[in-house]
């Protein structure tokens, strides 16, 4: 591949930049919650689990004084704030925090909280609940943990949907993780609806607006490019779903990257077009870092492809609003 300081010596690369991409309102709220807690109450601020699934974000907050833990028993006695991550937590976590008189702040995304409330309503109505999602993901653990053990059955695959044997097939409801593949989820829901026509559904789809919009943008871009880069973390569900969406839409070279240092340049040596997006927990600075890395090797022609306009805003938890510490 040609290279050199002069732009004329670099191969041309058409870049289609997906919009929207990157931070969603729930992620902005969660990060702002940690920063505002530090501003109002000082160091340290404890955060249970990664506030969002992005190493760059977490490391930046650590430098500002946030301490990340996986379990509340790692938090020493005192009045330092303890923040629950955007993914949500089982009911047992705030109960344990209350038992220790902790200053707990819930930064769960409001759209995840919506799913929790739906599950609770279905349970009160005596329905068996099917949760479409990924085992061991913190959001799924949190949703299942809203109700007694056995009240929620996890559906991970279309095969699960075909073979699940409910206790009462005539009294079912389903909810979903907010960061799933639109296509996978639609397939599983359709299988379940055909098997259980009376199954209660969410009043509004549980997959959040940000997941939907980012996947739709990828579907517009992926068929038009030789390769797709998704900026995001390996443990970010919505980022993984974006990579899969690009592959399904016809882009055979679709990679998930955390930083520019992760780029395998051999994979991109022959491309003339590139799609770029970012998961909902990936900051724009990392998108710019990766574009800068490509600009060192290619002459970029960047075009934005927009699937939707976003203006969603979620206010901070009450304990973090400007007059909270007065």
Question: Do both 294 and 226 map to the same domain?
Answer: yes
Give me the pLDDT at residue 280, please: 96
Q: Find the helix packing angle between 237-248 and 209-221, rounded to 10°.
A: 30
List beta partners, residue 83: 47, 105
Average pLDDT over residues 285-312: 97
Question: Do both 214 and 284 map to the same domain?
Answer: yes
274, 245, 241, 239: which is closest to 258 by C-alpha?
239
Question: Do both 57 and 99 map to the same domain?
Answer: yes
Give me the pLDDT at residue 258, please: 97
| Domain contains 318 | no
CATH number of the domain enclosing 223: 3.40.1010.20
Show the CA angle centred on residue 307, arms to residues 256 and 158, nearest 5°.
Answer: 60
Give me the pLDDT at residue 322, please: 73
128, 150, 143: which is closest to 196 by C-alpha?
128
Active-site positions? 139
Tell me the pLDDT tens digit for each residue of 23-38. 999 999 999 999 999 9
Residue 121 has pLDDT above 70, yes or no: yes
Residue 277 has pLDDT above 70, yes or no: yes
Domain boundary among 54, 82, 109: 109
Average pLDDT over residues 115-137: 97
| Domain contains 313 | no
The alpha carbons of the chain give a radius of gyration, in whole angstroms, of 22
pLDDT band at 321 (very low <50, low <70, confident <90, very high): confident
Question: Do both 234 and 268 map to the same domain?
Answer: yes
Residue 153 has pLDDT above 80, yes or no: yes
Question: Do both 189 and 232 map to the same domain?
Answer: no
pLDDT band at 324 (very low <50, low <70, confident <90, very high): low
pLDDT band at 3 (very low <50, low <70, confident <90, very high): very low
- Residue 218's CB is within 10 A of a number of other CB atoms, namely 28
| Domain contains 128 | yes
DSSP string, 275-299: EEEE-TTS-HHHHHHHHHHHHTTSE
Question: Do both 138 and 81 map to the same domain?
Answer: no
Tell me the pLDDT tens digit for each residue of 214-261. 999 999 999 999 999 999 999 999 999 999 999 999 999 999 999 999
Length of the chain: 326
Question: Do both 172 and 237 map to the same domain?
Answer: no
Residue with tokens 């068929």: 223
Q: How many domains does the chain have?
A: 3
Question: Do both 128 and 181 map to the same domain?
Answer: yes
Question: Do both 15 and 36 map to the same domain?
Answer: no
Average pLDDT over residues 39-48: 96
Tell me the pLDDT tens digit for each residue of 79-94. 999 999 999 999 999 9
What gap in Å lies between CA 324 and CA 22, rounded to an integer?
29
What gap in Å lies between CA 260 and CA 92, rounded to an integer?
39
Question: Do both 218 and 280 map to the same domain?
Answer: yes
Alpha helices in 154-206 (DSSP H): 158-163, 182-195
Give me the pLDDT at residue 326, please: 52
The H-or-E segment that residue 48 falls in is strand 45-48
Question: Do both 294 and 214 map to the same domain?
Answer: yes
Residue 5 has pLDDT above 50, yes or no: no
Domain that holds residue 59: 26-109
Half-sphere exposure of residue 306, counting CA atoms within 13 Å on the CB side?
Answer: 3
What gap in Å lies between CA 225 and CA 208, rounded to an integer?
26
| Domain contains 228 | yes
Give me the pLDDT at residue 188, please: 98
Question: Do both 167 and 221 map to the same domain?
Answer: no
| Domain contains 221 | yes
Torsion angles phi and psi, residue 138, rounded to 5? -60, -30
| Domain contains 81 | yes
CATH number of the domain enclosing 32: 3.40.50.11270
Tell me the pLDDT tens digit for each residue of 191-223. 999 999 999 999 888 999 999 999 999 999 999
Structure tokens at 111: 């759209």
Domain boundary among 195, 225, 243: 195
Mean pLDDT of the chain: 95
Torsion angles phi and psi, residue 152, rounded to 5? -120, 130
| Domain contains 54 | yes
Give me the pLDDT at residue 1, please: 35
Give me the pLDDT at residue 325, please: 52
Domain boundary among 130, 161, 195: 195
Average pLDDT over residues 102-130: 97
Bridge-based pairing of strands 128-132 and 172-176 is parallel
| Domain contains 2 | no
């Amino acid at each position: 591949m040609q290279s050199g300081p002069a732009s004329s010596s670099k191969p041309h690369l058409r870049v289609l930049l997906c919009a929207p991409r990157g931070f969603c309102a729930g992620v902005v709220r969660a990060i702002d919650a940690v920063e505002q807690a530090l501003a109002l109450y000082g160091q340290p601020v404890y955060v249970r689990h990664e506030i969002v699934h992005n190493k760059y974000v977490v490391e930046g907050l650590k430098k500002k004084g946030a301490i990340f833990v996986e379990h509340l028993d790692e938090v020493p006695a005192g009045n330092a704030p303890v923040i629950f991550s955007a993914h949500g937590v089982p009911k047992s976590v705030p109960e344990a925090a209350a038992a220790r008189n902790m200053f707990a702040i819930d930064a769960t995304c409001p759209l995840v909280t919506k799913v929790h409330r739906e599950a609770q309503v279905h349970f009160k109505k005596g329905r068996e609940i099917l949760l479409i999602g990924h085992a061991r993901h913190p959001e799924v653990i949190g949703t299942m943990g809203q109700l007694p053990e056995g009240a929620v059955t996890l559906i991970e695959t279309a095969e699960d949907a075909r073979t699940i044997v409910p206790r009462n097939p005539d009294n079912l409801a389903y909810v979903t993780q907010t960061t799933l593949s639109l296509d996978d989820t639609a397939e599983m829901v359709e299988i379940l609806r055909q098997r259980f026509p009376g199954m209660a559904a969410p009043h509004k789809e549980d997959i959040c607006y940000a997941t939907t919009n980012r996947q739709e943008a990828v579907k517009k871009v992926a068929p038009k490019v030789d390769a797709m880069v998704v900026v995001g973390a390996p443990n970010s569900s919505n980022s993984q779903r974006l990579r899969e969406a690009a592959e399904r839409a016809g882009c055979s070279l679709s990679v998930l990257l955390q930083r520019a240092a992760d780029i395998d340049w051999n994979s991109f040596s022959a491309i003339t077009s590139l799609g770029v997006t970012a998961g909902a927990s990936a900051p724009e600075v990392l998108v710019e870092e990766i574009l800068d890395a490509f600009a060192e090797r290619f002459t970029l022609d960047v075009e934005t492809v927009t699937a939707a306009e976003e203006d969603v805003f979620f206010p901070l938890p009450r304990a973090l609003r400007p007059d909270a510490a007065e």
